[in-house]
Amino acid sequence: MEKDTEKKDGQEQEQGEEQQSPSSIVQKIQALGQTNIPQAPDSNIHVLSIIGQIEGHIQLPPQNKTTKYEHILPQLIAIEQNPKIEGVILLLNTVGGDVEAGLALSEMIASLSKPTVSIVLGGGHSIGVPIAVSTNYSFIVPTATMTIHPVRLTGLVISVPQTFEYLDKMQERVINFVVNHSHIKEEKFKDLMFAKGNLTRDIGTNVVGEDAVEYGLIDEVGGVKEAMTKLNELINEGKGNEQQEVIQ
């Protein structure tokens, strides 16, 4: 049996090598529309992309783009442990999703010892807001938006007052996290969350780039360049502190 599998593996490898030559170029063109991609030296900064829906305990259909938190959480541990990684940059373009998964991600990012910077691109809605503010410093591009609205529930709901209390507590956790990790005041955040008339007939506010900075939700308007500069600055600050500690 073992020999058989070895043989198979060998054959597969051979096939793999054959595929490398002309057909791999064809595949590359089919997949990316180009043949070669730029190469760069090793990076001390790692990227975490929170793109698509935040997936919780229920697996979303495969056609949805999802952020798989069960894969991201161990990656964050690896980042914390790896001495070669000096900083993390978070790219956000999410429509929101599972509250508990989102809060888990936010708490993990907030408790990393390494400098973290986030950039909100396109959208950082609902549970994307706590994730965006969980970093040491946050950026938003001028065209990006963040929708702040009350927590919602779909699916089977038991219609008892306790369900409402449960939802209310969940919302309280989100509000507390955002208030503790950004410069926004609790009243202001609640005002935005329960505002009427901003989202047609819905409750909540759609905050655009510069407004998010004005409210104190996000630290600065900026893109990749600003974020990288800030992250390098934070890394250097951290290094300076470490050296001082050693001298003492």
Partner 1 sequence: MIHYTPLSESDIYPIDEAAYTNRKCVNYEGKTVFVEKNTNGEYQLVQLLSTDPQDYLNEKFTPGTIIP
For partner 1, the binding residues (CB under 8 A) are 12-13, 15-16, 19, 24, 27-28, 30-32, 37-40, 42-43, 45-48, 59-63, 68, 71-72, 75, 78-79, 88, 152, 154-155
How many other β-carbons are positioned within 10 Å of the β-carbon of residue 136? 20
Furthest-apart CA atoms within the chain: distance in Å: 70
71 catalytic residue (yes or no): no
Burial class (CB in 10 A: 0-12, 13-18, 19+), 57: exposed
CB of 64 to partner 1, least distance (A): 8
CB of 228 to partner 1, least distance (A): 11
List the catalytic residue out of 126, 134, 138, 182. 126
CB of 31 to partner 1, least distance (A): 3
Six token digits for residue 201 = 């007939």
Nearer to partner 1, 41 or 197 (CB): 41
Q: What is residue 83's three-state secondary structure?
A: coil
List the catalytic residue out of 106, 118, 134, 149. 149
Residue among 93, 81, 104, 87 at smallest CA distance from 47: 87
182 catalytic residue (yes or no): no
End-to-end alpha-carbon separation of the chain, Å? Answer: 63
Six token digits for residue 227 = 């974020």
Nearer to partner 1, 150 or 216 (CB): 150
Nearer to partner 1, 46 or 181 (CB): 46
SS3 content of the chain, % helix, strand, coil (to 5): 50, 20, 30
Helix axes 161-181, 99-110, angle to 10 degrees: 30
Nearer to partner 1, 24 or 236 (CB): 24
Nearer to partner 1, 88 or 131 (CB): 88
Residue among 233, 206, 237 at smallest CA distance from 117: 233
- Catalytic residue IDs: 126, 149
